[in-house]
């Protein structure tokens, strides 16, 4: 794992630090456990808020051989950055034009008959056709071909493949992670879909079902490829289990400098609505980050922060640009370092701590980070 004591001194007055060696170490660690032919690292939504291009490059350097994104726009940004590795994009507009994706050699996840015909039209005009992965709905009920559609869809895919318009490279689905029994039921449906596809004459090279949690806990569901998302960024896919227990290190640290210090008497109202009042004469620290940078307003009065190595709690409402912290009688100066969340092994609050305080999940916390924060990529 990376030596996170070597993070640079806080530079701009508010920043998000992305530890790329930690990401590489996480991917290497996870790949060593998987034992499958292919590892996809999912970099959608700006790599869960971590910086899509830099994180994609780091994941590939660590041995990942596929990248996953939600939409074609994200895939094309990777191509524009010079990334040539296989990329799967699986969420498309109702009238998506697949020409740009096919031309850029982006593999397209197909979830409906209309999209299958549209991508085949684009593929027919391109040497080698369009590479596609067919998504089957096995119980998540979001998108993908419903079971009643499987026979006709697979038959049509055989025809389109024979014409040279498409190459059915893979079949995939997504688990709900509701319970072991629910996931097992979805796996049964997935294998039924694959069997029907093969009976129809398809020979998909890559079957994939598991994202981070199932990939880490159930070898029977790994198939030919696993899709690693939140775990690559060093966060636990389970609310009741820490990242360090999985051998992972958080990649993101959000920090700032104290931008104002004020000594106030007991009973002073703090921020909007006075949801917090000082119990005694206290020192208030102003932190120049707010919901404009993705700090949830639900962090008001609840989320932990670290200032000069000591743990405090946000005091009062989070505003668009700032929040306050009551540090009592602790010594405080302008420019002192504040860590919102980072690596708990350094004693810092974690994204999971913030998620618990805000009544959400760590995915939500890190993906929302951005706005005016200065990104600092640590190599």
Instruction: Tell the residue number behind the tokens 């070898």, with chain if given.
Output: 219
Active site residue 44: yes
Q: Quick check: 243 and 350 in contact, CB under 8 A?
A: yes
Rounded to whole angstroms, the Cα distance separating 72 from 77 reads: 9
- How far, in Å, are 94, 153, 154 from residue 147 at the CA level? 21, 10, 11
Residues forming a β-bridge with 68: 42, 88
CA distance 349 to 9: 18
Q: 304 by DSSP, 3-state: which?
A: strand
Q: Show the tokens assigned to 179.
A: 């319970």
The tokens for 344 are 């708990």
Q: Is 48 a catalytic residue?
A: no
Measured over all CA atoms, what is the biggest interatomic distance in the chain, rounded to whole angstroms? 79
70 CB burial (10 A radius; 0-12, 13-18, 19+): middle
Q: How far apart are CA 210 and CA 172, in angstroms?
A: 9
Q: Are strands 87-89 and 66-69 parallel, antiparallel or unpaired?
A: parallel
> Which candidate in 44, 48, 276, 363 is catalytic?
44
Nearest-angstrom CA–CA distance, 319 and 155:
56
> Kind and range of the H or E element at 262?
strand 260-264
Give the active site residue among 115, 223, 233, 272: 272
8 Å CB contact between 154 and 200: yes
Structure tokens at 232: 């690559």
Just list the catalytic residues. Answer: 44, 272
């Amino acid at each position: 794992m990376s030596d996170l004591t070597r993070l640079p001194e806080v530079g701009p007055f508010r920043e998000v630090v992305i530890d790329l060696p930690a990401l590489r170490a996480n991917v290497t660690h996870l790949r060593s456990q998987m034992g499958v032919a292919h590892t996809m690292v999912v970099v959608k939504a700006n790599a869960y808020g971590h910086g899509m291009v830099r994180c994609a490059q780091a994941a590939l350097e660590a041995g990942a051989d596929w990248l996953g994104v939600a939409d074609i726009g994200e895939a094309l940004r990777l191509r524009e950055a010079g990334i040539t590795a296989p990329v799967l994009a699986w969420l498309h507009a109702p009238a998506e034009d697949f020409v740009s994706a096919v031309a850029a050699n982006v593999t397209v996840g197909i979830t409906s008959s209309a999209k299958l015909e549209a991508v085949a039209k684009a593929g027919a005009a391109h040497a080698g056709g369009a590479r596609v992965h067919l998504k089957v709905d096995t119980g998540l009920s979001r998108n993908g071909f419903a079971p009643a559609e499987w026979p006709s869809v697979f038959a049509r895919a055989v025809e389109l493949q024979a014409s040279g318009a498409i190459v059915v490279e893979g079949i995939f689905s997504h688990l709900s992670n509701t319970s072991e029994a629910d996931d097992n039921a979805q796996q049964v449906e997935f294998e039924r879909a694959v069997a029907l596809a093969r009976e129809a004459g398809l020979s998909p090279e890559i079957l994939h079902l598991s994202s981070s949690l199932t990939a880490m806990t159930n070898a029977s569901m790994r198939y030919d490829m696993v899709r690693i998302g939140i775990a690559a960024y060093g966060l636990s896919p389970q609310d009741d289990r820490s990242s360090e227990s999985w051998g992972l290190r958080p990649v993101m640290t959000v920090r700032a400098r104290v931008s104002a210090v004020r000594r106030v008497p007991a009973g002073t109202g703090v921020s909007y609505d006075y949801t917090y009042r000082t119990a005694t004469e206290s020192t208030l620290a102003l932190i120049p980050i707010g919901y404009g940078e993705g700090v949830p307003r639900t962090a008001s009065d609840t989320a932990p922060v670290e200032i000069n190595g000591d743990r405090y709690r946000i005091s009062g409402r989070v505003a668009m640009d700032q929040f306050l912290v009551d540090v009592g009688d602790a010594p405080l100066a302008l420019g002192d370092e504040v860590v919102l969340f980072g690596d708990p092994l350094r004693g810092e609050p974690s994204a999971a701590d913030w998620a618990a305080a805000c009544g959400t999940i760590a995915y939500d916390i890190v993906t929302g980070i951005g706005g005016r924060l200065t990104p600092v990529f640590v190599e």
